[in-house]
Structure 1
Amino acid sequence: MTSDNTNSLSIGAYILLRLKQIGIDTVFGVPGDFNMPLLDLIEDDAELTWGNNANELNAAYAADGYARVRGMGAVVTAFGVGELSAINGIAGSYSEMVPVIHIVGTPRTASQKSGALLHHTLGNGDFDVFFKMGSMVTVAAANLTLANATAEVDRVILAAYTNKRPGYIALPFDLIHATVQVPVELPLLDFAASKNPVQVQEVAVKQILSAISEAKHPVIIVDGAVIRHGLQSAATDFVNRAGFPTFSTMMGKNAIDETVSNYRGIYTGAVTLEGVKEEIEMADLLIEVGCIKSDFNTGNFSYGFQNTKKICLNSHGTTIGHAEYAGVGMHELLPCLTAALPGLKHQAELSPRVMPAPIDTSSNQITHNYLWNKVPEYIAPNSIVVSETGTAEFGVANMQSPKGATFIGQILWGSIGYSVGAAVGAAFADRSRKVYLFVGDGSFQLTVQEISVFIRQGLTPVIFLLNNDGYLMEKLIHGPERSYNNFQMWDYSKTLEYFGGHLETNKSNGKNPSLIGLEAKVETRQEFENAMELVNQQPDKIHFLEVVMPEFDSPRELSLLCALSENR
């Protein structure tokens, strides 16, 4: 039954409509018998692409990478076996503040009510156990019924977006095509941030301005929450207007434009480049914007500001010294503070910016010192750089940033293998931007299956497989000679071939019949540079470079951090 003001819509179609309204055009996941009618709707929708991942864990990683570029992501799994495979990826999104909507196809409502002994269950009639697990790593969870479906879908999506955490929607099989009434002119979800309390914010601004006026050496640190809340432009405006020496963290890399004149580099406590560390720790006022004080992000909690006055602007409140201003979020405070700064820009006496050590020319091996100094020459502006936990993540930290680049890594959750799936999601999220994936050999062996998705979907990243023959980060922390830190060597440079990149049956799918570019194993610097020249001549192809590196060579930052980790 419909009226002049409402339309009849299936619950499955309603979920997809809401996903499309928030900018999602790709849904990741794996088919399962409890979710396939929803997949029919996805496949038949001209505005949506089914990610068709190799497994649910990779699908969750892909949704995370997609969300970091597009703002939100979505993944569909089956009940029990599928969602538990994905839960590590969803937990990572929760830890790292990434809004991913996890939709789980569950058994029919009647079967759940009767406690039927179904496949994919624990065999004890408990159909709530997986919902409870999912609820623990999401900010909002809903078990849909015919009566609550539209309201609950909206609630979960809003909560995920507002809190920058995942949301969980359990969709029973028999409700996918069940119809509900929705307004003909369905209002868009209201994602407007809540307003800060005016009087409290005014006091906070006055106190911050007072602290700035009294400071002789104020500095700014911009961190990862700025990126999660999409405040890069506001943060850059503040940094430009203030003129104070400005630093970012590893999680905050490119939270501001690194070409601004007062940007000074990455600060990671004791892991920081020595000259940068000396410069920032002279501060008598530290303004932290969007701070995330995790161990790796702070050099194992080695920040050196015990006697420095601190101001912390974050998403839900502001702290000035020991005073807390609840509800004064940085989304509104940051522009207000920028406008209220004195008319005369602070003129700090800045020496030339401290940079990483230049390339050591005493060897022709591809060392980390060489790689991270050289590779920025080949990365296009506005690219997406995805780095794996370990050598790549720490190598990227002080790498020169291409203009407009987005950096994706998992510094807090640190699940090895994350980068391969995340790169798939990032490549889907914006096909106009080149994706560069840096992944170690150990991490690659966990999630290598997603290479097949790159090829099938016509995605064209440049993949750098860093082959140092083992789990180097673990070796640096403990057991450098232990066999558990080693694994079977693969013929990595043939990866695209194995995953069907040259098979005629795959080329005929119409995605890209001539997709495969360079497939190479490089062991010397000249081989690397020759390969990268060829890569840049073919920007519309997928390239795979196996980069052979010395077994125990690592970025300076990783070596220092692992030494600190021994005392955790």
Structure 2
Amino acid sequence: SVNIMLFFRLFFLSSDCVILLGAFLTDINLGIYTARLDLGRAIYSTSERLAIRYHSFEHVRFKDFIRGLVDANLTPHPTGPRPSPPRPREFLPAAVNAPVTIARLFERVNEYLDDHSIVIADVGNALFGASDLLIRHRTEFLGPAYYASMGFAVPAALGAQLGRPDLRPLVIVGDGAFQMTGMELGTIARFGLNPVVIVLNNAGYGTERHIHDGPFNDVAPWQYHRLPEIFGTGRAFLVKTEQELDHALDEATRHKSSFCLLDVHLDPLDKSAALGRLAERLSKKI
């Protein structure tokens, strides 16, 4: 879909056989149906159905289909050329008072990630922007891409770190989503977990502003960076400039005894590259 970079999209759509395993074809992961997926060249298997080209096969369990593929001992084709994303550039803060933008934020996050990270993205700019992150071989990624469940990320960080204590969650969440479920930080603090939470503070529902703007997209101006005062633990940073962002992530990397929260102030109309691609296509339909 238009959510992903052009060279990946062309590689995907030009394949003679697309195998979709457990991927539900919903409006979000099809870029509001901008993906031109030819099901005549697809094998589509989920917990709900199995289809090969346009033929559907009933009562085939997903795990049985996967086991059958493994046991079939299929002869692999020679590996052809594959697209590779551009390597992250070294992040160097611009002028002293240069304001943070979505694009520069994700450039810095790219530099922060390592094999011990698990990225957890909420919906909207958080998810669209994270789709362009370079996820390392062992970096995990969680996002509510199928059903766009707003408020997913902070509670998901709690479950993810309890389930995988060897990984440190990097949570990317909008201010609107955080106001729904962000108080789960209290439970995170109670259990001594240490995610790094980046709140995209753009004063409202940023994705909606690019579709249909109005005062209904505004949210209350919380002081997210003062939450450690409420919980009695944790570190927080008020981030308005690139230098402050760079410093905050450096400090968060070193501080591992509790959660860290970055209250990142952004222009209300700023958007990620992926959201820009989607909004451009949507604007032609609305």
> Partner residue of 2:178?
444
SS at match of 1:386: strand
TM-score using structure 1 length: 0.46
Equivalent residue runs for 1:181-192 within 5 Å = none
Task: Tell whether 2:284 aligns with 1:550.
Answer: no
Tell me if the contact between 1:272 and 1:557 (Cα under 8 Å) persists in the aligned partners. Answer: yes
Structure 1: runs of 5 or more not aligned: 1-268, 502-515
CA distance in 1, matches of 2:58, 2:87: 39
Task: Tell whether 2:223 aligns with 1:491.
Answer: yes
Return the structure number with greater relative CO, CA threshold 8 A, min gap 6. Answer: 2
Given candidates 283, 293, 303, the residue that maps to 2:15 is 283
CA distance in 1, matches of 2:254, 2:27: 41
Equivalent residue runs for 1:40-79 within 5 Å = none
Structure number with bigger Rg: 1
- Aligned partner of 2:121: which letter? S
Equivalent residue runs for 1:73-92 within 5 Å = none
Q: CA deviation at 1:354?
A: 4.0
> Partner residue of 1:309?
41
SS at match of 1:304: coil
**Alpha carbons of structure 1 residues 357 and 556: separation in structure 2 relative to 1, 3 Å:** farther
SS at match of 2:119: strand
CA distance in 1, matches of 2:207, 2:132: 18
SS at match of 2:65: helix
Q: CA deviation at 1:407?
A: 2.1
Q: CA deviation at 1:415?
A: 3.2
Given candidates 113, 122, 128, the residue that maps to 1:394 is 128
> Partner residue of 1:531?
248
TM-score using structure 2 length: 0.86
Tell me if the contact between 1:382 and 1:403 (Cα under 8 Å) persists in the aligned partners. Answer: no
CA root-mean-square deviation: 2.7
Q: CA deviation at 1:392?
A: 0.6
Between 355-364 and 302-311, the greater mean CA deviation after superposition: 355-364
CA distance in 1, matches of 2:203, 2:145: 22
Tell me if the contact between 2:88 and 2:134 (Cα under 8 Å) persists in the aligned partners. Answer: no
Provide Cα deviations, 1:503-535, integer angstroms capped at 9, x if missing partner: xxxxxxxxxxxxx3x321122222212222222
Tell me if the contact between 1:417 and 1:444 (Cα under 8 Å) persists in the aligned partners. Answer: yes
> Partner residue of 1:519?
236
Given candidates 341, 353, 357, the residue that maps to 2:84 is 353
Structure 2: runs of 5 or more not aligned: none
Tell me if the contact between 2:4 and 2:131 (Cα under 8 Å) persists in the aligned partners. Answer: no
Task: Tell whether 2:159 aligns with 1:428.
Answer: no
> Partner residue of 2:210?
476
CA distance in 2, matches of 1:553, 1:494: 24
- Aligned partner of 1:494: which letter? R
> Partner residue of 1:328?
60
CA distance in 1, matches of 2:123, 2:87: 20
Q: CA deviation at 1:273?
A: 1.3
Tell me if the contact between 1:300 and 1:564 (Cα under 8 Å) persists in the aligned partners. Answer: no
Equivalent residue runs for 1:350-389 within 5 Å = 350=82, 352-355=83-86, 364-389=98-123
Given candidates 514, 536, 540, the residue that maps to 2:257 is 540
> Partner residue of 1:224?
none
Tell me if the contact between 1:373 and 1:400 (Cα under 8 Å) persists in the aligned partners. Answer: no
SS at match of 2:106: helix
**Alpha carbons of structure 1 residues 340 and 378: separation in structure 2 relative to 1, 3 Å:** same
Identity %: 25
Provide Cα deviations, 1:225-246, integer angstroms capped at 9, x if missing partner: xxxxxxxxxxxxxxxxxxxxxx
Provide Cα deviations, 1:265-301, integer angstroms capped at 9, x if missing partner: xxxx233311222222222322222231100110112
- Aligned partner of 2:161: which letter? A
Equivalent residue runs for 1:126-275 within 5 Å = 269-275=1-7
CA distance in 2, matches of 1:490, 1:434: 26
Q: CA deviation at 1:410?
A: 1.8
Q: CA deviation at 1:348?
A: 1.0
Given candidates 413, 420, 426, the residue that maps to 2:147 is 413
Tell me if the contact between 2:93 and 2:242 (Cα under 8 Å) persists in the aligned partners. Answer: no
How many residues align structurally? 282
CA distance in 2, matches of 1:409, 1:452: 21
CA distance in 1, matches of 2:106, 2:117: 16
Provide Cα deviations, 1:6-36, integer angstroms capped at 9, x if missing partner: xxxxxxxxxxxxxxxxxxxxxxxxxxxxxxx
